[in-house]
Amino acid sequence: MFKIQPRVRPSLPAALFLTAVIVALISFSIVKLESVPHIPILLSIFVLLSFGALKKIPLKTMEEGMIEGAKSGMGAVFIFFLIGVLISSWIISGTIPTMIYTAFSLVTPNFFYSIVFIVTAIVGLGIGSSLTTVATIGVAFIGVSQAVDASAAITAGAIVSGAFFGDKMSPLSDTTNLAASIVGVDLFTHIRNMCWTTVPAFLITLVLFGIVSPEVEQTQFPKVEAIKAALSEMNLIHWDAWLPLVLLFFLSIKKVSPIVTLALSSAFGVLLSFFHSDRTLAEIWNILFSGFVSKTGNADVDALLTRGGMDSMMFTVSLVLLSLGLGGLLFSLGIVPRLFEAIEHYLRKVASTVAAAALSAIGINFVIGEQYLSILLTGEAFQRQFEKVGLARKNLSRTLEDAGTVINPLVPWGVCGVFITKMLGVATIAYVPFAFFCLLSPLLTILYGVTGWTLTKKE
């Protein structure tokens, strides 16, 4: 989207005013009115169209900007559809029930949240997808938290922290590859350099979750056993139920396209389901589209397994398209470029440059609600400025991940925030205070910018 040519150069006050109006409109609607994000984003688009009309920009030109913005997210749209299919196929194959059953078996009376954080971090690192991690092992741990009467909000914070640690550090992650490629840095150089901020954030987060972990009494575990029994009665707990997950890991390690990986793993799940149930092909087709409906009689299990399907992703897909359309319009009307230009003009030192890049990535996440755009726009805008202050490009790629990738799940109307809330059933605002890793990452990158620690000069 950064290649969209601005059609007008608004004044800085006008750009700031429009940005403030959009942020206020979206924030008020989400927080005060408890509205879904779609309506305020749509209203924001009409605000920008009105501004463009006042500037006598043809409607067709503005429509082209929105379309270009939406086009940049079509790959994500297909991935969302496939995640919906994947969840359904993994339920009927027994993969998700088996994962939940195993996750229950990992529960111990001590350090529950730390266990959640570590396990989701390992899974996220292995498959390189935060959203897939949330939609699979994350869902399992939410079920565990309900069973042991632990806080769903803190559990969700641990899940988000672990999943986005994996997404940020995995060489299989699209955001990791995007941040490295947009700045022109070798992928593994980028990952090694991220360790300076990521490892301390990981360790601090682990300690914090250990401190807040509840003292779970042994008497609470019969509820876990009841859920495990209900899962067993579904006849979906099998050793071969792990095979779709193994296939997902294998294809990810081989760097196969996420679309192909999700499709093959889903197909394998469907194939496996024929060996453990007598569902007809028509019934399976319906489950893949509408989702699986659990009727075990156990309320916790039914709430946990009634999910999935392409239809369940429509909410998120529509939000993606609206958010990216808004982003395209913001760029086409010159608002984002004008803000970047103003920021760049006043940057003279390393500390202010790093802080401005981090705050810009955070700001784009809140204004547009899309992590890819925060990486693309910030990376494109600040490359020249980082070179001006003598910093190597890998410092910028690290900043993009520290303040771009991990911030989107903290935005209630952001693509990741909405998806996670949809999957886990926990409001974004509820888990934000406990997403320690995501909160620490931008703070550490700004701290390093101020102190100069670990920053590499341009050769």
Would residue 1 count as lying in a domain? no
Question: Residue 254's pLDDT is what?
Answer: 78
Task: Name the more confident of 145 and 355.
Answer: 355
Residue 458 lies in a domain: no
> At residue 252, does pLDDT exceed 80?
no
* Residue of 439 and 38 predicted with greater confidence: 439
Do 143 and 300 meet the contact criterion of CB atoms below 8 Å apart? Answer: yes
SS3 450: helix
Same domain, 257 and 198: yes
Q: Is 81 helix (H, G, I), strand (E, B) or coil?
A: helix
pLDDT band at 219 (very low <50, low <70, confident <90, very high): very low
Identify whether 47 is part of a domain.
yes
206: domain range? 78-309
pLDDT of the residue at 180? 82
Q: Residues 187, 303: one domain? A: yes
Asked if pLDDT for residue 161 goes beyond 90, the answer is yes
Average pLDDT (338-357) is 82
174 pLDDT tier (thresholds 50, 70, 90)? confident
- Using CA atoms, how far apart are residues 142 and 146, in angstroms rounded to an integer? 6
| Across 30-34, 225-229, 231-235, least confident range | 30-34
Tell me the mean pLDDT in the region 394-411.
93
> What is the number of domains present in the chain?
2
Q: In which band, very low, low, confident or very high, does the pLDDT at 31 lie, cut at 50, 70 and 90?
A: low
- Domain-located, residue 418: yes
pLDDT of 48 strictly over 60: yes
Domain check: are 54 and 82 in the same one? no
Whether the per-residue pLDDT at 56 is higher than 50: the answer is: yes
What pLDDT is recorded for position 122? 81
| pLDDT confidence band for 434 (50 / 70 / 90) | very high
**379: CB partners within 8 A, 6+ apart:** 179, 182, 183, 396, 397, 400
Domain boundary among 276, 293, 309: 309
Quote the tokens at residue 220: 């609470």
Q: Are residues 91 and 150 in the same domain?
A: yes
Whether residues 214 and 193 share a domain: the answer is yes
Mean pLDDT of the chain: 84
Mean pLDDT confidence for 429-435: 95
End residue of a domain, out of 309, 332, 365: 309
- Residues 233 and 261 both lie in one domain: yes
Question: For residue 293, what are its two tokens?
Answer: 């409906």
Instruction: Identify whether residues 138 and 50 lie together within a single domain.
Output: no
The CA distance from 247 to 17, in Å, is 50
Q: What per-residue confidence (pLDDT) applies to 28?
A: 80
Whether 355 and 262 map to the same domain: the answer is no
CA dist 45 and 59 (Å) reads 12
Q: For residue 270, what pLDDT band results from cuts at 50, 70 and 90?
A: very high
Report yes or no on 377 lying in a domain.
Answer: yes
Domain-embedded: residue 60: yes
Q: Is residue 2 part of a domain?
A: no
Residue with tokens 């693309």: 376
With a threshold of 0.85, does the pTM exceed it? Answer: no
Q: Are residues 172 and 276 in the same domain?
A: yes
- The answer on 345 and 296 residing in a single domain is no
Q: Are residues 333 and 376 in the same domain?
A: yes
Q: Specify the amino acid at residue 52.
A: G
Assess whether pLDDT exceeds 80 at residue 418: yes
Q: What is the distance between the alpha carbons of residues 351 and 356, in angstroms, rounded to a whole number?
A: 8
Chain segment 313-324, per-residue pLDDT in tens: 888 788 778 877
pLDDT at 111 over 80: yes
Instruction: Say if residue 49 is in the same domain as residue 195.
Output: no
In a domain, 6, yes or no: no
* Domain stop point among 248, 280, 309: 309
